[in-house]
Structure 1
Amino acid sequence: MQNYDPSKLRDVSVPLNTIVAKALVPSIVLTIVPLIPHVLIWGFRAAFNVRDYLLGFVAVVLLVVAHEAVHALGWILFAGIAPKDIRFGIAWKTLSPYAHSMVAMPAGGYRVGVVLPLIVTGILPVVIGTGLNMAWLTIAGAILVSGAVGDLFVLQVIKAIPATALVIDHPENAGCYVVEP
């Protein structure tokens, strides 16, 4: 974290284990709902077979990595963060992969970086998979939509922060510190 006076930092975050506990039902719903249009259009039998599950598994692994890369790309493009200031890892207690910015950024750019993976690695694969009858891609996208529940919680937690306020990504929790003037 940059050299900011700790008394000027307001913690606006939620512990990861709290999100994991609250995310179970929304995650299940957000996994199932994106599959419904695929099944309604193409049928259940055509949508789900062993080959598709295997392709879906591979796609999920790749899309999880892409999810974190898209967080970073969002912060680089919309918050002006340098690539050297972003770290990647896994929070082993909750098995949560993460991208973490080491420097402050405007809250508006932070929000874009938080929500972008939902769109790019979740919703977009669901739409493409459904449109092209690629069940494996629809399944992978649905799982990634579900996996973005934590990001949606972060958006909820930080909704009152003005877009121009400087924030620092929290190093351990989901959310950020607001740099107070």
Structure 2
Amino acid sequence: MENFEEYEKEKKTINIYTANGVGLAITGAAAILFGVPFYLIWGLNSFLSLQQVLLFILLFVAGIVIHELIHGFFFGLFAKNRFKSIRFGVMWQMLTPYCHCKEPLRIKHYFLGALMPALLLGIIPAVIALFNGSGMMLLFGVLFTGAAAGDFMVVWILRKEHPDTYVQDHPSEAGCFVYRKREEV
């Protein structure tokens, strides 16, 4: 691991309330992006029955846990201390679950860990629903695309950083610390 005393440390966080609003906007956009073609291909007959709604609620709760486990899995792959560096919790004031990596990762690895839940639980299921006509899969994909709003926002604020720059999750806020090598005089 690098000696981070030689690095400048900058805090970069997002507002969790703003993230929730962005999440609603992303969910709406995903509903249109995937819902309109779904409707044009499959019509209304493929939307959810009452039994499917109850099953969906169970899948949604499981999906929330899986979303955080995906973060932890990918962060743990690149952390020096692997999965010992990963912890999970809930920001109770916002009922927001989180995964926290206790050590710095390179931004390119952090991006992968941050974006994989959106891809695996959001975009891929929504695209599959366009082909198989599953209203439940469409709804799941749309909601989990929106659920990744905070992840998208953190990636966005880090987008101009060099891929090999180090970043560490903030332990108590939505965001991170960026470590940049100090310029030698």
Q: By the TM > 0.5 criterion, same fold?
A: yes
TM-score normalized by structure 2? 0.85
Report the Cα distance in structure 1 between the residues aligned to 2:47 and 2:91, rounded to whole angstroms. 34
1:67 aligns with 2:71: no
CA contact (8 A) 2:14 2:175 kept: yes
The amino acid of 1:180's aligned partner reads R
In the other structure, the counterpart of 1:155 is: 155
Kindly state the Cα deviation for residue 22 of structure 1 after the two structures are TM-superposed. 4.2
The amino acid of 1:176's aligned partner reads C
In the other structure, the counterpart of 1:145 is: 145
In the other structure, the counterpart of 1:127 is: 127
In the other structure, the counterpart of 2:164 is: 164
Further displaced range: 30-39 or 10-19 = 30-39
- Measured at CA, do residues 108 and 32 of structure 1 come closer, stay the same or move farther in structure 2, by a change above 3 Å? same
In the other structure, the counterpart of 1:87 is: 87
What residue ranges of structure 2 are gaps of 5+ in the alignment? none
Report the Cα distance in structure 2 between the residues aligned to 1:121 and 1:162, rounded to whole angstroms. 27
CA contact (8 A) 2:78 2:109 kept: yes
In the other structure, the counterpart of 2:33 is: 33
CA contact (8 A) 1:39 1:47 kept: no
In the other structure, the counterpart of 1:46 is: 46
Q: Deviations over 1:69-98 (max 9, x none)?
A: 111122223555611110111111111111
1:177 aligns with 2:177: yes
Report the Cα distance in structure 1 between the residues aligned to 2:133 and 2:107, rounded to whole angstroms. 38
Report the Cα distance in structure 1 between the residues aligned to 2:27 and 2:171, rounded to whole angstroms. 24
CA contact (8 A) 1:9 1:177 kept: yes
Further displaced range: 69-78 or 159-168 = 69-78
Structure label with greater radius of gyration: 2
Report the Cα distance in structure 1 between the residues aligned to 2:70 and 2:48, rounded to whole angstroms. 28
Report the Cα distance in structure 1 between the residues aligned to 2:70 and 2:145, rounded to whole angstroms. 14
| % identical aligned pairs | 28
Superposition RMSD in Å: 2.2
